[in-house]
């Protein structure tokens, strides 16, 4: 029996006892090292995904809060990105549990904007 040191990529050093079955022990050790590095990659991927989800939720909440409080920003969104504007009003309806807050807010905004800009062609009617 003798001890043999094997130096793998990524700076791993493995010392193992070589016996009659020495070759199979070396292959097993290499497989374990590859599995542990794969586990690190998976762990980093999961953490990156969680960080992305938390960031996306925070940005979405901040945007929703800004739109809810600012009529100017709602009008800008309505004129430049109508599909995002309708999504905002839909979300507002969804969180109001059937009270249709978003629909009432959209109609109120449209009436107010129509009075301000009489020549506007961008205002929808239902």
pLDDT of residue 10: 46
Q: What is the CA radius of gyration of the chain?
A: 30
Question: Does residue 120 carry a pLDDT above 50?
Answer: yes
Q: Tens digits of per-residue pLDDT, 89-110?
A: 999 989 988 888 889 999 999 9
Locate the domains of the chain by residue range: 1-68, 70-126
pLDDT digits (tens, 9 = 90+) for 21-58: 555 455 555 555 455 677 788 889 999 999 999 999 99
Question: In three state form, how does the secondary structure of 74-93 look?
Answer: HHHHHHHCHHHHHHHHHHHH
pLDDT score recorded for residue 89: 92
């Amino acid at each position: 029996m003798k001890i043999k040191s094997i130096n793998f990529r990524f700076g791993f050093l493995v010392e193992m006892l070589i016996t009659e079955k020495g070759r199979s022990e070396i292959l097993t050790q290499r497989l374990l090292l590859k599995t542990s590095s794969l586990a690190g990659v998976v762990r980093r991927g999961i953490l990156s995904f969680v960080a992305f989800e938390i960031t996306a939720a925070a940005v979405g909440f901040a945007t929703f809060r800004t739109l809810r409080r600012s009529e100017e920003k709602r009008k800008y969104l309505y004129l430049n990105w109508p599909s995002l504007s309708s999504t905002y009003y839909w979300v507002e309806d969804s969180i109001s549990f059937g009270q249709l807050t978003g629909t009432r807010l959209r109609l109120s905004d449209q009436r107010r904007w129509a009075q301000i800009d009489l020549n506007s062609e961008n205002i929808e009617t239902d």
